[in-house]
Amino acid sequence: MLVAFGRSIREARLERGISQEELALRSGVDRSYMSSIERGEQNVGLMSMSRVAAALGVTLSELVLNAKL
């Protein structure tokens, strides 16, 4: 489940041509934390998920649906 959600974030980020570092900056999380989120190594809190979705310009539900959760 974590890997699928991380993959959803990565795909959305790449579709928008945003670097991982830029996404981390926009969402207010550390770059290394963003990296571990995308690899599915972190159980991301709801507020962090919401900030990442907003930084990507998508809804949280879009990320969840894309991850098939």
* Nearest alpha-carbon partner for 6 in 23, 26, 25, 57: 23
Q: What local confidence, expressed as pLDDT, does residue 24 receive?
A: 97
pLDDT in the model for residue 33: 95
Indicate the CATH number for domain 2-66. 1.10.260.40
pLDDT at 53: 97
28: alpha, beta or left, given left = phi > 0 and alpha = psi -120 to 50?
Answer: left
Task: List, for residues 4-53, the tens digit of each pLDDT value.
Answer: 999 999 999 999 999 999 999 999 999 999 999 999 999 999 999 999 99
Give residue 52's pLDDT: 97
